[in-house]
Amino acid sequence: MLYLGCHLSASAGYLAMGETALSIGANTFQFFTRNPRGGDAKPLDLDDAAKLNALLEVNGFGKLIAHAPYTLNPCSAKPEVRDFAYRVFKDDLARMEAVPGNYYNFHPGSHVGQGIEAGIDQIVEIVNRVLTPELHTTILLETMSGKGSEVGSSFEELRAIIDRTECSDRIGVCLDTCHVSDAGYDIVGDLDGVLAEFDRVIGLERLKALHLNDSKNPRGARKDRHACIGEGTIGRETFRRIVNHPALKQLPMCLETPTDLEGYAREIALLRSFEA
């Protein structure tokens, strides 16, 4: 079974997201834990979360992906920004206990001129402070496109973060198709080779989820501009191979393409039609 979904608004609450997902043919979804451009989070409604958990179980959903706000930068050059990242990260993981057993995805961040090694050290310092054994959420490092001073555009950088964390058994990777292509990995011409490289460097057992996005850029552009499925340089046939790949087809796959809810429904139907 394919677990396909998209990014949904959390503004109407947990149960509403689950019901919206069902209405567009999704059996997983992604959501922001709070305002993606700020730090505010709605009060946690445990009853609403419990209703979502029941809906997920009855309808056989795959793992959900909560996405950290874009303002979370654990390797900023500014101490106050790193402190904000720590506080948001810690609070989000506590909130995720209301929907236990799912994923919390975050962008490793931008080192802003400090250098990759310093950035990795700062990311690890915060992850080690917030990720504790009693939590029921797995943290996902997202593969990045490499624009600016981003950390995480190479498998080696992600591996370095994983190797230095204390609860590394609770850390996985979310592979974004647009990002890895923009970072230079040839998923169009050599998907198997890219996955073999991921396995060699990180280990396929750590690959927990996918963001399915076409790209407006040529491979290696290091820009990060998403396109709808089949409307970019990655193309439909690559996504056909992805949803049928034995190493990938059981993972939750969420769209982050530039479209609306009806567009997501069409893309989910298209991806399901690819299933062999």
Concerning whether 179 is annotated as a catalytic residue, the answer is: yes
Concerning whether 37 is annotated as a catalytic residue, the answer is: yes
Annotated catalytic residue, options 37, 87, 129, 272: 37
Cα Rg, the chain, nearest whole Å: 18
CA distance 126 to 2: 34
Concerning whether 169 is annotated as a catalytic residue, the answer is: no
Annotated catalytic residue, options 92, 150, 157, 176: 176
Tokens of 117: 């090694």
Annotated catalytic residue, options 107, 111, 159, 206: 107
Report yes or no: 209 and 65 within 8 Å, Cβ to Cβ: yes
Q: HSE of 12 in the Cβ direction (CA atoms, 13 Å)?
A: 10
Annotated catalytic residue, options 34, 211, 214, 264: 211
Concerning whether 111 is annotated as a catalytic residue, the answer is: no
Concerning whether 199 is annotated as a catalytic residue, the answer is: no
The amino acid present at 39, given as its one-letter code, is G
Spatial neighbors of 94 by CB under 8 A, at least 6 apart, are none
Annotated catalytic residue, options 142, 150, 182, 214: 142
Annotated catalytic residue, options 14, 92, 226, 264: 226
Annotated catalytic residue, options 70, 163, 169, 237: 70
Concerning whether 211 is annotated as a catalytic residue, the answer is: yes
Concerning whether 245 is annotated as a catalytic residue, the answer is: no
Tell which phi-psi region holds residue 220, choosing left (phi > 0), alpha (psi between -120 and 50) or beta.
left
Annotated catalytic residue, options 7, 67, 159, 206: 67
Give first-to-last CA distance, the chain, whole Å.
11
Concerning whether 70 is annotated as a catalytic residue, the answer is: yes
Helices and strands in the chain, H and E counts = 9, 10
Annotated catalytic residue, options 182, 224, 264, 267: 224
Q: Where would I find the H helices in the chain?
A: 14-23, 46-58, 79-95, 116-130, 155-164, 177-182, 191-201, 236-244, 261-274
Concerning whether 256 is annotated as a catalytic residue, the answer is: yes
Catalytic site residues?
37, 67, 70, 107, 142, 176, 179, 211, 224, 226, 256
